[in-house]
Amino acid sequence: MSETVAVPPQRNAISRLWNDKESRSVIIQVITISLVFAFMAYIIHNAVVNLQAIGKGFSYNFLWQPSSYDINQHLIEYDSRSTHFRAMLVGILNTILVAICGIVLASIVGFLLGVLRLSKNWIINRLAYCYIEYVRNVPVLLHILLVHGLIVHAFPVPRQAISIGDVTFMTNRGIFSPKPIYEPLFLVVIALFLLALAFMWWFRRYAQKVQDETGQHYPVFWIGLGTVIGVPLVFFFLLGSPITWDVPELKGFNFAGGMVVRPEFIALLLALSLYTAAFIGEIVRAGILGVYYGQTEASYALGINRGRTLSLVVIPQALRIIVPPLTSQYLNLMKNSSLAVAIGYMDIVATIGGISLNQTGREMECMIIVLTLYLVMSLIISMIMNWYNRHIKLVER
Amino acid sequence: MEQSAYKPGEHPNLPPPSNTVGPIAWVRANLLSSPTNIVLTVLSVWFLYEIIPATLEWAFLDAAFTGESRDECRAKAGGACWAFIGERFNLFTYGFYPADERWRIDLTFVLLCVALLPVLWDRCPFRKYGLYFACAFPFVAGWLLLGGFGLTPVGTDEFGGFMLTLVIGVTGITFSLPIGIILALGRQSDMLIVRVFSIWFIEFFRGVPLITLLFVASTMLNYFLPAGTTFDLLLRVLIMVTLFASAYMAEVIRGGLQALPRGQYEAADSMGLKYWTSMRLIILPQALKISIPGIVNTFIGLYKDTTLVIIIGLLDPLGVGRSSLADTKWTGLSNEMYLFVAIFFFISCFGMSRYSLYLEKKLATGYER
């Protein structure tokens, strides 16, 4: 038998390498990696040369010099003699504060909107729709500026403050309210509260176990409310209310003493959470509609009432659809909080990336800090939400 | 017997009972079906009653449409002062573009509409030539706006207003889609290095706020370029906005790629198609179709994010409005200004989202019943 297989034409080495899948993949990767490294080396080289040319080194020593500017909202001790590092910490805390408050508020309003959007009541349904469409199609920066303008213009000057029971005052410089001063005995109340929380954590698991084994049902929610709120409250009064209040007073043109919530904070919080709530509302609606209606019918067929059907059947399944996009909305809210700089709320961008940068002229160092901080915060939120997502995810084979 | 008034089969069709059809039944079913619903209906009707007449009064009935300053407006009417918008309309539209050259912006806008028509409408006459024109449009637009080659050169620092929004928005949208597709494919790639770099790129740009990237562009991008090069600020902003949007685009498209059944990839491979051919003919058309809502959402997000440029000193409509408010003649008219800018953004973004719904319906290939 003679071999009739055609001899493949001889091709040169390069073409053979290129036409082989594995070697081609190696070649592409080598080219990519060398291009990327060459690019990095090029821009780092440029940066070094440029910095040398204008006589700036690359160092973080400026962080330990006095910042010499004031920050009106600081959660930790801070004044103009504090270091830039401390200013940065104040900025981080302010960002975290508005992000956490915003996430909580946006989730509550968003779930409410989602439910209203599904309401069978035509007017409510349309109102929610109009709200969502208006908010989603207008830039968040405009919302922030608008809300800030409304707050500053609509509230009176401190002299004509709107007073609530003569202890809380609403003015265009913020909302002034009494500040609690804790006496040592208050520690007992806090300790009791923590103990009650620990007890409830144990009791919830115990009640679940008993229910799994015997079918007996404890009213966990009401018992929990009683222990966590009631017990510390009773002890609070038994110990003779170990709290005094520092009430704000009008002095000159402004209020002194007490606690103040600044208008910038209120404006940013309201604008961010109402904006994000519109997106969350649509996500919630999609999640609830995404649960097959047969699930609800099956639940009714088992004689489970409406409320329990929602909380035990529909919502747990809807959450699986809701949580991933919800995570990115939370991330967006956190990142949008950087727009605070437009209305003068002192967050990370306004402190270390704004005034510190302009005072020290350390653009490179400051921007690296700001970018890193945001990356770390994004990572933390993603990690928490991914953990939660795994927790509620359908357990498959 | 009374029932036998009609013979079997000859009973006339009676109208449905009056409590199941018609407006009254509709109101009953939709507004008053339960005590909670009644309360909600009453509350929202009250809310609308409070809001709508007051708004109409402020915006139209008691508004001043002409006048030279805020005080003149106030003397005429107690509501909105639209004369402010009227006087500043050119500034809102063209920014500081030289008045004699504004026809170039108008022409560019008309050409943009002409270029969009064949892209958006698939039964447009002469669609093929229209698409060629759409490809050439960015260059024509760049020439018209920037000048040179026979036209008076205009610096990008004179760009502003809605025109700046459109420049950033359209450029970002045009370039972020292809870059996003490449990044998404890179992230799905079998090649480790390509994948790792794509992931780093995407996660970095998604992890930081756009405003910090714009700060980077305005303060320190010059450090990374060879000494002596100057780099136009608007161009730097365009690059950052495009890269930022393409990272989000990549994630949206990755969703579409992952949603495709594995069999599609295998089928393409077994047909003997090469990588790019199979992507172009089999994978991407389906993946992009799935990700249309996400892609349009990213477009809308990018378009809205163009407002952030005011923080680094470019004057988009919001920036023009804010600096106009600083004029003592018009001070204190922020509500009118914000409403005007909001309406502009609402119309463009709402239009985009409606178009995406239309496209989704058109491309749905019948898996739904």
A51 touching B (Cβ < 8 Å): yes
Quote the tokens at residue B123: 């039964």
Q: Would the CB atoms of B311 and A51 count as touching at under 8 Å?
A: no
DSSP string, B20-43: TSHHHHHHHHHHSSSHHHHHHHHH
Cβ(A91)–Cβ(A351) below 8 Å: yes
| B303, closest residue in chain A (CA to CA) | A139
Query: Which of A88, A57, A84 has its CA nearest to residue A68?
Result: A84
Element (H, E) at A301: helix A293-301
Query: Closest Cα of chain B to A274: distance in Å?
Result: 16
Query: Closest Cα of chain B to A112: distance in Å?
Result: 13
Nearest to B193 among A32, A137, A379 (CB): A32
Between B110 and A182, where is the model more confident?
B110
Question: What single DSSP character describes residue B277?
Answer: H
Question: Mind listing the pLDDT tens digit for each residue in B279-308?
Answer: 999 999 999 988 888 899 999 999 999 999
Query: Closest Cα of chain B to A217: distance in Å?
Result: 29
Please, what is the average pLDDT of chain B?
87
CA angle B175, B142, B152 (to 5 degrees): 165
B353 touching A (Cβ < 8 Å): yes
Quote the tokens at residue A26: 């190696």
Question: What single DSSP character describes residue A64?
Answer: G
Give the per-residue pLDDT at B181. Answer: 95
Contacts of A53 in chain B (CB under 8 A): 227
| B218, closest residue in chain A (CA to CA) | A363
Per-residue pLDDT of chain A (397 residues; tens, 9 = 90+): 455 555 555 567 778 777 777 888 888 889 999 999 999 999 889 888 888 888 777 788 888 888 888 888 778 888 888 888 888 999 999 999 999 999 999 999 999 999 899 888 888 999 999 999 999 999 999 999 999 988 888 788 777 777 777 777 888 777 887 877 777 778 888 888 899 889 889 988 888 888 888 888 778 888 888 888 888 888 888 877 777 777 777 777 777 777 788 888 999 999 999 999 999 999 999 999 989 889 999 999 999 988 889 888 998 889 888 888 898 899 999 999 999 888 888 888 888 888 888 888 888 888 999 999 999 999 898 888 888 888 877 766 5
Query: Which of B241, B85, B344 has its CA nearest to residue A138?
Result: B344
Contacts of A338 in chain B (CB under 8 A): 209, 211-212
Q: Would the CB atoms of A336 and B47 count as touching at under 8 Å?
A: no
Cβ(A282)–Cβ(A212) below 8 Å: no
N- to C-terminal Cα separation, chain B: 48
| B333, closest residue in chain A (CA to CA) | A149
Give the per-residue pLDDT at B367. Answer: 57
A80 touching B (Cβ < 8 Å): no
Query: Closest Cα of chain B to A341: distance in Å?
Result: 8
Question: So where are chain B's domains?
Answer: 83-97+154-360
B318 touching A (Cβ < 8 Å): yes
Q: Would the CB atoms of A141 and B222 count as touching at under 8 Å?
A: no
Paired residues of A171 in beta bridges: A174
The domain made up of B83-97+154-360 has a fold known as MetI-like fold (1.10.3720)
Question: So where are chain A's domains?
Answer: 84-154+263-392
| B198, closest residue in chain A (CA to CA) | A32
Element (H, E) at A164: strand A162-164
Cβ(B250)–Cβ(B277) below 8 Å: no
ipTM over 0.85: yes
A290 touching B (Cβ < 8 Å): no
Q: How confident is the model at residue B240 (pLDDT cuts 50, 70, 90)?
A: very high
pTM: 0.85
Q: Would the CB atoms of A141 and B318 count as touching at under 8 Å?
A: yes
Which residue, chain included where needed, has tokens 């077994």? B270
Contacts of B349 in chain A (CB under 8 A): 136-138
A239 class by beta-carbon count within 10 Å (0-12 exposed, 13-18 middle, 19+ buried): middle
Q: Could you tell me which CATH class the domain A84-154+263-392 is placed in?
A: mainly alpha
Radius of gyration for the alpha carbons in chain A, expressed in angstroms and rounded:
29
Question: Mind listing the pLDDT tens digit for each residue in B59-83?
Answer: 888 888 888 888 888 888 888 888 8
Cβ(A280)–Cβ(A113) below 8 Å: yes
A122 touching B (Cβ < 8 Å): yes
